[in-house]
Amino acid sequence: MSTVLTDCRVPFAHELIELARADDRIVAVCNDSVSSSNLGEFRSLFPERMFNVGIAEQNMVGVAAGLANAGLIPFVCAAAPFLTGRATEQIKADVAYSRANVKLVGMSPGVSYGELGPTHHSIEDIAWMRALDGLPIVSPADDEQTREAVRWAAGYEGGVFMRIGRFKVPSVSVGQSPAFEFGRSNAVRDGDDVTIIASGVTVSRALAAAELLSERSVSVRVLNISTIAPLDVAAVITAARETGRIVVAEESVSRGGLGGAVAELLAESNPVPMRLLGVNTFAPTGSVEFLLDHFGLSPEGIAAAARELVGRA
């Protein structure tokens, strides 16, 4: 892991601008979220290709479907809780069911908004979006993955839901090329005793947990799941077979989230003991860092869950 920390909204916006320079079909749609989506520069460069509909998420998603109908490639950029919560039915009917080529970018997901509280936390978005047929869910973990995922999304024909965090993260993709491949997980650490499955901000924490566990001679595999749907079935089943124990650590509810996805898969194919860590209740007041620790998503918390599974407390 590098020590440089990245707010992934920065590489997101940078890459979107690069794409927009090369392809005039790229447009942005937002809900008064130009600054929170880091799209100020995009707006300066391409004012006519920025559609700010105001604080109106249903209209925002419907408008994007209409833009896509004309062959444009809209990136809808809005805070994840309001995009996925307020416009769920538009995402279902206008994007997923209509198979509209709309990129839904949920900014600042999970507990990114820390002290602003559960109204502003987006812990249900993965479960809601995962229930929709044919809507890929992408959750890049760092700078490199964000850039490559945005580029992939622009070229993919169809709707996509993407989580872009504001909580600063270190690179976990150093030396990996490609950093992001749709539908494929990255084994960012290999091991035999237990696998920690993580996504987004929890990947670097899972790696830190693995480091703590190695001091106790527990050998840990860490899978970075940057495509939550469709899940990398082969990698998850192989991890279950080879390590026999699975911990899932995510910045989301486990019910219907990544934990739910892994559990559904393994229940049918290769059941193993599991621990599902997530933000599974409305959060108390506190900073992002405090909340991640509170929900057991600190390196120590993740390591404790893994030790319990391995039986070496």
Partner 1 sequence: MTSDWWLRLREAGPATTSDIAEFASEIRRTTLVTINRAGLGHIGGDYSVTDILATLYGRVLRVDPENPHWADRDRFILSKGHAAVSLYSTLALSGFFPLEWLETFTGPMSALNGHPNRNKVPGVETNTGPLGHGFPVALGCALAAELQGSERRAYVVLGDGELQEGSNWEAFMYGGHRRLTNLTAIVDRNRLQQGDRTENTNSLDPLDAKVDAFGWEARVIDGHDLDALHTALASPSDRPVAVIAETTKGKGVSFIEDRAEWHHKVPNDEQVALALEELSR
Residue numbers at the binding site for partner 1 (CB under 8 A): 27, 48-49, 51, 53-54, 56, 58-72, 74, 89-90, 93-94, 97-100
Nearer to partner 1, 72 or 138 (CB): 72
Side chain identity, residue 127: A
Min CB(71)–partner 1 separation in Å: 7
- Among 125, 114, 149, which Cα is nearest to 294's? 114
Min CB(50)–partner 1 separation in Å: 11
Active site residue 264: no
Side chain identity, residue 236: V
Helices 9-22 & 143-155 angle (0-180, nearest 10): 40
Q: Which of 57, 124, 144, 250 is catalytic?
A: 57
Min CB(98)–partner 1 separation in Å: 4
In sequence order, what are the residues at sequence separation of 6 or more whose Cβ sits closer than 8 angstroms to the Cβ of residue 161?
84, 91, 104, 106, 125, 129, 135, 136, 137, 138
Nearer to partner 1, 44 or 281 (CB): 44
Assign 3-state DSSP to the chain and report helix, strand, coil percentages, each to 5: 40, 20, 40
Min CB(84)–partner 1 separation in Å: 16
Nearer to partner 1, 100 or 266 (CB): 100
The continuous run of DSSP H or E covering 239 comes out as helix 233-243
Instruction: Give the distance from CA 273 to its chain's centroid.
Output: 25
Nearer to partner 1, 48 or 268 (CB): 48
Nearer to partner 1, 29 or 277 (CB): 29
Is the Cβ–Cβ distance between 142 and 173 less than 8 Å? Answer: yes
**CA–CA dist 131, 147 (Å, integer):** 26
Min CB(291)–partner 1 separation in Å: 32
Min CB(47)–partner 1 separation in Å: 11
Nearer to partner 1, 59 or 176 (CB): 59
Tokens of 206: 């899972």
- Among 221, 264, 272, 204, which Cα is nearest to 244's? 272
The continuous run of DSSP H or E covering 14 comes out as helix 9-22
DSSP string, 40-64: HHHHHH-GGGEEE--S-HHHHHHHH
- The set of catalytic residues is 57
